Chain A
Amino acid sequence: MFLYIDPSKCTGCMLCEAFCSFKKEGAIWPSKSRITVLKWEEKAAFIPFTCLQCERPLCAEACPVGAISRDSKTGAMVVNEKRCLGCKTCVLACPFGGINFDEEKGYVVKCDLCGGDPECAKQCPKGAISFVHPDRMAPKKKREAAAKITSLLEVVAPVKKEEGEVA
């Protein structure tokens, strides 16, 4: 299961950041959120971004002490806080900015899919974030793309009716 994010549905409300930081830090603290809504205000482009839980996790490969590993239950890459040296190599290795160093804690933090029940997906009011099985991703995308052309279906259906092809 992974987080499927559709930026076209995002309104930029930041509820995902607020809820994420609350779950992880116990305070509303967007700068500590594991998901970040990247904003280009003038263009009104909002792109929620978080760790992609890569199949080839460069963060884990880069970590000299093996502090990052995959949670077999959720598939998330998780940080062993006790083992983390705070050397930030993983932060440098990740091409996406999916992992970050927390100065106060002294170790790195990242999205861990909330143990299989991600808060951001639960709280996004516009359905821009969903937690889906890889098998379902392409069909979901197909359906959404197809929905945009359902106007065509609506044109076609009544015609058929008139011709008596549809009861």
Chain B
Amino acid sequence: MNYGYVGKCARINLSTGDITIADTPEDLMENYLGGNGFGAKILWDETGPETDPLSPENRLIVATGPICGTFVPNAGRVEFVFKSPLTGIYGDSNSGGFLGPELKFAGFDFLVILGKASSPVYLHVEDGRIGLKDASHLWGEDAVKTEELIRKELGDEDVKCATIGPAGENLVRYACINVSVQRQAGRSGGGAVMGSKNLKAIAVRGHGPVCIADPKRFYEVAVRLKKLIMEDEFYPAVSAYGTPGIVSLMNIIGRFPTKNFQRGDFPYADEINAEALRENHFVKDIACYACPIACDKIYGVFKGPYAGAVTRSFEYETLGSYGAGIWNRDLPSIIALGDLCDRLGLDSISAGRAVGFAMELFEKGIITKKDTGGLDLTWGNVESAMTLTKMIAKREGFGAVLAEGVRRASRAIGKGAEYYAMEVKGQEIAAQDGRAQQSMGLAHVTSNRGADHLKAFPTIDETGYPSQAVRRYGEQYLPELVDPQATKYKAWVVKDGEDFAAVVDSSGNCKSGGTFVLAQVYWSEMAEAISAATGRNLTSDDLKEIGERIYNLQRCYNVLCGISSKDDTLPKRLLEEPSPSGKAKGQVARIHEMLPEYYALRGWDPETGRPKKETLKRLGLEFCIDRGAAS
């Protein structure tokens, strides 16, 4: 009998059509927990530095975790792991919605997809059975519409899908995976991996149970966590506004990247903040599976040139990338651009950043209308941003250059364009300026998937609320811990956040729910919930070790792919150009004050940035030493 886990996994070879179903390996459950951990281990075992991310040899691992599909609050996440076509290293992306739980109700903990179909197909998973279906008629269709069409075709309103749009089909390196209904596993280019495999969608329907080892205890824990979350002081705000709620705050602290990170404040932020959204565009609160918060909203545009645009999962990030980032104060157009990205199947962070990057090159005269095919890329030119976004998805003209990501694009363009490529390890930086929050700068640098705020997700010191910090870490770290500009303790905060996030992303729980954003659920609560669900008695320390193991394994994979301490850095602009904005005025990102401590805490060699042998041995990762990833 399986508890927490449903006990089966499947391997689908799209080249041969072979589909095999097996028991979920004990080693994976014991040492890697689920989602993120499962994916990291499978990617390590089956691919390597030689794997071309867009070749049939790459893997797409779709994985759930032991509490996914239960009623632990926010336990509805699904993880996609693959070698990233954007960065060429370890890649993953996580999504809410309903796909993860549905996969478990269908009887699977995870799927491993490899090979390449000879013509477009979609995967149909239903109650322990898996088949391939023709998707020729869906190829070219937008990512959101595709899910609707598949539901119709299968005659079942409750089918949940992962789909790609034209950007994924055209192998745009930051194409996203659209997840039931209009949510996204946005980052690192999973959509291009699906496109390279001729895989248009994964459709899932299940009617089975997720069984619980200790029902009484599990119920008690889940109900208690739900209450904690709903009584959190920030619950009303997060419920009402979701992530756009932080626009004004980030603007005040100078952490809202504007004009491709030239500055960290946007003078028109009030026109694109959460209040403006709620007042003029709000349609409805919608929730992901098992979520009492419902940070997701439907926003619509009701009049003007963008009337008819509707978005879901419209986040702070899109207001950053397609708003402040490109000097655009027209909120309806940002909603329309978000909707456009979702439908084309583009990560709206990377796509918006690519447009902002191009606008800055245009401003600096590095590119001209000759390069852009006549497009006027003056800051704030919304129509050009629309056109360029479509050109990216279709890889048309100058769009094809940007479809490669800003790192490759800047190298192709030359003439000093590299300076304006705001990326780390090839992935574009989200709306999180490390000059305004030192821990965030470090987080981008040490993230295993290239620039990213969500790997360490340092939420506690960003706003500096001591009550949250004391609850999570204790009195002893104040006042430095909550000072966004202090570097003391931040290496530890980042390391702890990375390990905890690896566990959350492996469990099936959500980082925007009670674990980071509302910060009520921490190691011991996760340990309680997972233990009661699975019957495996896990302590906080056990989970910390699993988190560390996953993080080190991903780092070792990156080491094999050529990553070293030299790559652990930020764009020069953030290290050398003092921020002109808000509370961050005069500040640069001081990652070098934190990196040595970070390496020491991690047990990594400070020279090479590789994990030390004793670290890997302690974590049971001897096989990484054997493959030459240790220092």
Scoring B residues 168 to 186 as 1 if CB is less than 8 Å from chain A, else 0, what string do you get? 0000000000001100000
Docked complex Cα distance between A19 and B210 (Å):
12
Q: Which residues of chain A are near B284, meaning CB under 8 Å?
A: 44
A14 touches B286 (CB 8 A): no
Q: Which residues of chain B are near A21, meaning CB under 8 Å?
A: 209
Contact of A41 with B151 at beta-carbon distance under 8 Å, contacts A22-B215, A28-B209, A125-B226 already known: yes
B158 touches A27 (CB 8 A): no
A13 touches B210 (CB 8 A): no
Contact of A11 with B215 at beta-carbon distance under 8 Å, contacts A29-B208, A41-B151 already known: no
Contact of A14 with B290 at beta-carbon distance under 8 Å, contacts A39-B158, A41-B157 already known: yes
Docked complex Cα distance between A38 and B287 (Å):
14
Q: Which residues of chain B are near A18, meaning CB under 8 Å?
A: 70-71, 290
A8-58 contacts to B, CB under 8 A, are 11-15, 18-19, 21-22, 25-32, 38-42, 44, 46
Determine if A126 is an interface residue (Cβ-Cβ < 8 Å).
yes
Q: Which residues of chain A are near B105, meaning CB under 8 Å?
A: 29-31
Q: How far is the CB of B400 from chain A (nearest CB, A)?
A: 32
B157 touches A12 (CB 8 A): no
Q: Which residues of chain A are near B518, meaning CB under 8 Å?
A: none
Q: Which of A11, A22, A41, A42 interacts with B287 by CB under 8 Å?
A: A11
Scoring B residues 85 to 102 as 1 if CB is less than 8 Å from chain A, else 0, what string do you get? 000000000000010010
B271-312 contacts to A, CB under 8 A, are 283-294, 298, 312
Q: Which residues of chain A are near B285, meaning CB under 8 Å?
A: 11, 126
Q: How far is the CB of B105 from chain A (nearest CB, A)?
A: 7
Q: How far is the CB of A35 from chain B (nearest CB, A)?
A: 14
Q: How far is the CB of A13 from chain B (nearest CB, A)?
A: 4
Q: Which residues of chain B are near A46, meaning CB under 8 Å?
A: 286
Can you name the residue of chain A whose Cβ is closest to the Cβ of B69? A28
A97-125 contacts to B, CB under 8 A, are 123, 125
Contact of A29 with B226 at beta-carbon distance under 8 Å, contacts A40-B157, A42-B181 already known: no
B209 touches A27 (CB 8 A): yes
Docked complex Cα distance between A12 and B60 (Å):
29
Docked complex Cα distance between A30 and B209 (Å):
8
B298 touches A15 (CB 8 A): no
Contact of A27 with B212 at beta-carbon distance under 8 Å, contacts A11-B294, A22-B219 already known: yes
A11 touches B286 (CB 8 A): yes
A28 touches B287 (CB 8 A): no
Q: Which of B180, B209, B286, B292 interacts with A15 by CB under 8 Å?
A: B292
Docked complex Cα distance between A15 and B73 (Å):
9
Q: Which residues of chain A are near B69, meaning CB under 8 Å?
A: 28
A13 touches B291 (CB 8 A): yes
A28 touches B71 (CB 8 A): yes
Scoring A residues 124 to 149 as 1 if CB is less than 8 Å from chain B, else 0, what string do you get? 01100000000000000000000000
Contact of A12 with B286 at beta-carbon distance under 8 Å, contacts A19-B71, A39-B157, A125-B226 already known: yes
Q: Which residues of chain B are near A32, meaning CB under 8 Å?
A: 209
Determine if B486 is an interface residue (Cβ-Cβ < 8 Å).
no
Docked complex Cα distance between A40 and B298 (Å):
14
A28 touches B157 (CB 8 A): no
Docked complex Cα distance between A46 and B157 (Å):
12
Contact of A13 with B294 at beta-carbon distance under 8 Å, contacts A18-B70, A27-B209, A28-B71 already known: yes
Q: Which residues of chain A are near B148, meaning CB under 8 Å?
A: 41-42
Docked complex Cα distance between A19 and B287 (Å):
16
Docked complex Cα distance between A14 and B291 (Å):
8
Can you name the residue of chain A whose Cβ is closest to the Cβ of B207? A31
Q: Which residues of chain A are near B130, meaning CB under 8 Å?
A: none
B60-108 contacts to A, CB under 8 A, are 69-71, 98, 101, 105
Docked complex Cα distance between A11 and B97 (Å):
12
Determine if B470 is an interface residue (Cβ-Cβ < 8 Å).
no
Q: How far is the CB of B138 from chain A (nearest CB, A)?
A: 16
B294 touches A44 (CB 8 A): no
Q: Which residues of chain B are near A12, meaning CB under 8 Å?
A: 286-287
Scoring B residues 196 to 214 as 1 if CB is less than 8 Å from chain A, else 0, what string do you get? 0000000000111111100
B210 touches A27 (CB 8 A): yes
Q: How far is the CB of A48 from chain B (nearest CB, A)?
A: 13
Determine if B230 is an interface residue (Cβ-Cβ < 8 Å).
yes
B292 touches A13 (CB 8 A): yes
Can you name the residue of chain B whose Cβ is closest to the Cβ of A13? B287
A44 touches B298 (CB 8 A): yes
Docked complex Cα distance between A92 and B210 (Å):
29
Q: Which residues of chain B are near A13, meaning CB under 8 Å?
A: 287-292, 294
Contact of A28 with B158 at beta-carbon distance under 8 Å, contacts A11-B294, A13-B287 already known: no
B130-169 contacts to A, CB under 8 A, are 147-148, 151, 157-158
Docked complex Cα distance between A32 and B105 (Å):
11
Docked complex Cα distance between A11 and B96 (Å):
14
Q: How far is the CB of A31 from chain B (nearest CB, A)?
A: 4
Can you name the residue of chain B whose Cβ is closest to the Cβ of A21? B209
Q: How far is the CB of A151 from chain B (nearest CB, A)?
A: 13
Docked complex Cα distance between A126 and B105 (Å):
25
Q: Which residues of chain B are near A29, meaning CB under 8 Å?
A: 105, 208-210
Q: Which residues of chain A are near B70, meaning CB under 8 Å?
A: 18, 28
Docked complex Cα distance between A95 and B328 (Å):
53
Scoring B residues 208 to 229 as 1 if CB is less than 8 Å from chain A, else 0, what string do you get? 1111100100010001001000
Can you name the residue of chain B whose Cβ is closest to the Cβ of A17? B71
Docked complex Cα distance between A40 and B211 (Å):
28
Q: How far is the CB of B208 from chain A (nearest CB, A)?
A: 7
Scoring A residues 42 to 83 as 1 if CB is less than 8 Å from chain B, else 0, what string do you get? 101010000000000000000000000000000000000000
Q: Which residues of chain B are near A125, meaning CB under 8 Å?
A: 226, 230, 292-294
Q: Which residues of chain B are near A31, meaning CB under 8 Å?
A: 105, 206-208
Q: How far is the CB of A113 from chain B (nearest CB, A)?
A: 19
Docked complex Cα distance between A40 and B292 (Å):
20
Chain B: residues with CB nearer than 8 A to chain A?
69-71, 98, 101, 105, 147-148, 151, 157-158, 180-181, 206-212, 215, 219, 223, 226, 230, 283-294, 298, 312
Q: Which 6 A-B pairs have the closest CB atoms?
A: A125-B292, A27-B209, A11-B287, A13-B287, A29-B209, A31-B207
22 interchain pairs (CB within 8 A)? A11-B285, A11-B291, A13-B292, A13-B294, A15-B290, A18-B290, A22-B219, A29-B105, A31-B206, A31-B208, A40-B157, A41-B151, A41-B180, A44-B181, A44-B284, A46-B286, A123-B71, A123-B226, A125-B230, A125-B292, A126-B285, A126-B292
